[in-house]
Amino acid sequence: MIEPLYVDLTHAVNIAEMKIVKTLLMRAAPRVMGMEPTDIQRGMSRTVRVTGLALDKADWKKAVMPGCEFKLTHVATDGASVVAEVSAPQNALPGKRQVSVPVPGGEALTFSLTVVLGSSGIDSKGMAAGTASGTIARAGQVDRFPISLRRGQPLGLLLEQDSGSQLDCQLSMAGPDGSVALQGNRALAFVAEVDGIHEIQVRDREYRVGTAGYRLHAGQFPVVQGVFPSHVEAGKPAKVRLLGVGLGDHAIAEWPEVPASSVGTRLILPSPWEGIPGASGPFVDPSPQVMDRQVIHVPPFGANGILETSVEANRWKIQATQGKKLVIEVKAARMGSPFDSSLA
């Protein structure tokens, strides 16, 4: 007779499971699951603890955080955490910074930390320059931040939405009389025309239903509001002047030759201007671009002008032929201009 055989495999299975888990952990790619804190105030240093899986496989001594210093102090032996000292210089630009950590034989490990200007309170004189957080949570909601400015005082504004936001928030800047002087999507360069309490406004572009968390940075930092000329000709050398605040006296960007393949796109601003809030280069056009309003121009061409006030007008001389149609259009609001342009 054959006797049934019973063998207790529980212990063996547990050992096998442990070996499998250990093998999987050894093979797992490094992954960041969280960090504390997530903010670094400019002009200061903070100890940041990063948590995750297999973090010991990354080369943290070679971690790079643009415009800031990321110095490793400790890596846990199980790879579950890393501690570093992070410093942001006094002139650091506000906003998110991607930290990149090399991984031997694999893709770099990346995560984000945010440089802030400091907490921003509101008193009877208005909002102090700094970083404020908020949430748009209902249709038609407009968050208002009063801020006291002197005539001629420059102010940089940067709006950052949280990931997963359902709305498309926009910034507006209103003067003491309540009229909106400037508006845009993410960054504004504002110079006060009068003394008084101005108002920063944050809302959804279409006043829609949804939720959007955001951070508003307001203070003394460079912002590129635009460039002049706004268009450059493909295949030719190009030089533009940067318009905005905090850019210095010689804010010029140059290209030895504009690539012919870039027609219809915007050029990326070269060093040292890349990464500045609002930084976008000129549009590339196949036609010659002109700026001299004293001579007669023969179409096709693009005329680049700039209006300093709402009552100013630019006049251009065009060589026209009787019976020949000309198509003339003006681009201003489409490029972020606060003026409602018209042709006459």
Tokens of 216: 């508003």
Q: What is the pLDDT of residue 121?
A: 53
The closest of 98, 117, 174 to 142, measured between CA atoms, is: 174
Residues of the chain short of pLDDT 70, as ranges, are 1-27, 119-128, 310, 335-340
pTM for the structure as a whole: 0.79
CA atoms of 295 and 286, how far apart (whole Å): 21
Instruction: Look at phi and psi of residue 248 and say left if phi exceeds 0, alpha if psi is from -120 to 50, else beta.
Output: left
User: What are the b/e assignments for 185-223, b being 16+ CB within 10 Å?
Assistant: ebbbbbebeeeeebbbebbbeeeeeeebbbbbbbbebbb
Q: Do residues 285 and 263 make contact, with C-beta atoms less than 8 angstroms apart?
A: yes
CA atoms within 13 A on the CB side of 98: 6
Q: What is the pLDDT of residue 187?
A: 93
pLDDT digits (tens, 9 = 90+) for 67-113: 999 999 999 999 999 999 999 999 999 999 999 999 988 889 999 99
CA atoms of 252 and 269, how far apart (whole Å): 10
Give residue 188's identity as a one-letter amino acid code.
Answer: L
Q: What is the pLDDT of residue 164?
A: 79
Q: What is the pLDDT of residue 119?
A: 67
Q: What is the pLDDT of residue 207?
A: 79
